[in-house]
Amino acid sequence: MQGYNFAYLDEQTKRMLRRAILKAVCIPGHQIPFASREMPLPYGWGTGGIQVTAAIIGPDDVLKVIDQGADDTTNAVSIRKFFARTAGVETTTRTDEASIIQTRHRIPETPLAEGQIIVYQVPMPEPLYRLESSRATAAKLHATADYGAMHVKLYEEITRFGRVALSYDYPVMVNERYLMSPSPIPAFDNPKLNMSPALQLFGAGREKRLYALPPYTRVRSLDFEDHPFHPGRANAVCELCGADNTYLDEIIADDQGGRIFVCSDTDYCEGRHDPA
Amino acid sequence: MTLLEARHLYKRFGTIEALDGVSLSLRRHEILAIVGESGSGKSTLLNVLAGREAPDAGEVLYDGAPIAALGELELRRLQRSRWGFIHQDPRQALRLNVSAGGNIGERLMAAGGRNYGGIRRTAAQWLEAVEIDPARLDDYPRNFSGGMMQRLQIAATLVTGPELVFMDEPTGGLDVSVQARILDLIRGLVRQLGLAAVLVTHDIGVARLLADRIVVMRRGQIVETGLTDQVLDDPHHEYTQLLVSSVLPV
């Protein structure tokens, strides 16, 4: 493509991003500030994820982009096309074929492997955001690992609802040191963060922060001894492939109030009912 | 046994000497009242002693070691486990949109408490200890009266069993009958738990009721110090005489 550098961003910007990524990998779960650039799409559509992907992608990479688990939604299709045009890389919808997976809201059902990189689009990187209005104070709380307030939040959830009713963006402790927002993935996906063989990178474009989990990092969802973490899941099976162990989307099927449940991970679902 | 010691503290705000060479010491299980009128530097002294503000010069020693050498992390740890701070306005310390149980549990959870049932039981016990009906465990402090909020703050501070508590006008802004009950409560708890406390007040009556020793401050300096009864019954410095004589006779 004429007039653009490989993968859209100029090389200086990519170097800045790579320095931040290296630092993030060295301090798992710690938020690193970076000079987020204007991207040709609005904040909230994945500017952080795109910048991280642009900084790490090479000509030999194979890219998969998912949005809410699906490969065929507007956002996923657009970002995949964006890199196909600006970097000329091969794209795929198959989890096991991809070397880089950019994602919003899900971790694929197919287990990730060593050598793969998963890039999360993060709207709000600060897990203490709703508890502590000052970012300076929040930074101090991270520095002193003062996370009592987050447990107070969980305590309140159990007191009010009988269980922790957070269904997404469920806070995790990384390496027993940093409290981290896993981005708005469902709590169901939280266990997949733990000891993952893949490198996990998180980019927040509007908030200008990125953070990372190197392969095989311990990630623990916060809980109480007598109220252990429970990954939530609709009590149903997939209408299309019959899976009873995947994260399901509820879909309205007709105008008589009929509803069906289907796998949110479209690639995994297709692989099961239509083996290629 | 000296628990807390201040050596030649200086602190200046613009042209005002808030602390002008203040030294004092506090022993284990001792209650020290700092009295003086508004602007005498007593709140500044309390904040400096509690490590919430740094002095311009001088040092504060806790258990013989200067707190300035602790580093922020250690100091925070100290402040949230072995020390406590009770504000005049409980709204400053409490989370108003978090239940009473959650407020009491915060220090326990910050200290690593991870058993929901256990935290709840402890919180209920503490509500009882500060004379709040344990049935209000799940109620929000914003629906509490001023006196109840103050008692909740006391419970939320003492739950981790601190050995040193800083109190900034703990009964200020409450009406007189509520004040009396809270003073009674503080006096009972402090003796029962063997706490050491530094208490800032402008109310001579509060100092007389709670304190073992008194420090009288004026314009950033300590003008008189001694046992409570001694200072209040036989004040030597003219400013102390003025303070004592200005108490309304009941």
ipTM: 0.87
Is residue A5 included in any domain, yes or no?
Answer: no
Q: Please identify, among A178, A197, A221, the residue that sits at the C-terminal boundary of a domain.
A: A221
Q: What tens digit of pLDDT does each residue of B64-77 get?
A: 999 999 888 889 88
- Same domain for A204 and A240? no
- Same domain for A162 and A240? no
Could you tell me which of B21, B24, B68 has the C-alpha nearest to residue B213? B24
Count of structural domains within chain A:
2
Domain span holding position A237: 233-276
Q: Please identify, among A193, A221, A249, the residue that sits at the C-terminal boundary of a domain.
A: A221
Q: What tens digit of pLDDT does each residue of A197-212 get?
A: 999 999 999 999 999 9
- CB-based contact (8 Å) between B101 and chain A? yes
Contacts with A128 from chain B: Cβ below 8 Å: none
Question: Residue B114 and residue A227: Cβ atoms within 8 Å?
Answer: no
- Same domain for A244 and A186? no
Q: Confidence band (pLDDT; 50, 70, 90) for B174? A: confident
- Choose between B81 and A204: higher pLDDT: A204
- Choose between A184 and B250: higher pLDDT: A184
pLDDT of residue B176: 84
Question: Residue B76 and residue A146: Cβ atoms within 8 Å?
Answer: yes
The hierarchical CATH code for the domain B2-82+162-245 is: 3.40.50.300
pLDDT beyond 60 at B63: yes
Query: Quick check: A53 and A83 in contact, CB under 8 A?
Result: yes
pLDDT of residue A15: 97
Contacts with B138 from chain A: Cβ below 8 Å: 159-160
Encoded tokens for A7:
């993968």
Task: Work out the minimum CA distance from A150 to partner chain B, whole angstroms.
Answer: 9
pLDDT of residue B202: 86
Q: What is the CATH number of the domain that holds A104?
A: 3.40.50.11310
Q: Please identify, among A199, A221, A243, the residue that sits at the C-terminal boundary of a domain.
A: A221
Question: Residue B102 and residue A155: Cβ atoms within 8 Å?
Answer: yes
Question: Residue A140 and residue B106: Cβ atoms within 8 Å?
Answer: no
Q: Catalytic site residue A269?
A: yes
- Same domain for A192 and A98? yes
Is residue A3 included in any domain, yes or no?
Answer: no
The strands making up A219-221's β-sheet, listed across from edge to edge, are A178-180, A172-174, A219-221
- Same domain for A190 and A214? yes
Q: What tens digit of pLDDT does each residue of A164-194 get?
A: 999 999 999 999 999 999 999 999 999 999 9
Give every CB contact of residue A59 below 8 A, 6+ residues apart in sequence. Answer: A6, A87, A88, A89
Region A69-87: what's the mean pLDDT? Answer: 93
Question: Residue B115 and residue A151: Cβ atoms within 8 Å?
Answer: no
Residue B205 CB coordination number (10 Å): 17
Is residue A186 included in any domain, yes or no?
Answer: yes
Question: Residue B106 and residue A225: Cβ atoms within 8 Å?
Answer: no
- Same domain for A29 and A144? yes
Q: Confidence band (pLDDT; 50, 70, 90) for B249? A: low
Helices within chain B (DSSP H only): 42-49, 71-81, 90-93, 100-110, 116-129, 146-158, 176-193, 204-210, 228-233, 238-245
- Same domain for A252 and A209? no
- Same domain for A159 and A253? no
Is residue A130 included in any domain, yes or no?
Answer: yes
Residue burial B32-45, b: 16+ Cβ < 10 Å; e: rest: bbbbbeeebbbbbb
Residue A205 CB coordination number (10 Å): 27
pLDDT of residue B32: 96
Nearest by CB to B99, which of A140, A159, A223? A159
- Same domain for A45 and A165? yes
- CB-based contact (8 Å) between B112 and chain A? no
Q: What tens digit of pLDDT does each residue of A80-135 get?
A: 999 999 999 999 999 999 999 999 999 999 999 999 999 999 999 999 998 888 99
Region B116-126: what's the mean pLDDT? Answer: 96
Q: Confidence band (pLDDT; 50, 70, 90) for B250? A: low
Is residue A257 included in any domain, yes or no?
Answer: yes
Nearest by CB to A156, which of B73, B102, B115? B102
- Same domain for A128 and A195? yes
Mean pLDDT, chain A, integer: 94
- Same domain for A29 and A151? yes
CA angle (B218, B165, B212) in 5-degree steps = 60
Would the pTM of this model clear 0.80, i.e. be above it?
yes
Searching chain B, which residue's CA lies closest to the CA of residue A225?
B115
Domain ranges of chain B: 2-82+162-245
Contacts with A147 from chain B: Cβ below 8 Å: 110
pLDDT of residue B58: 95
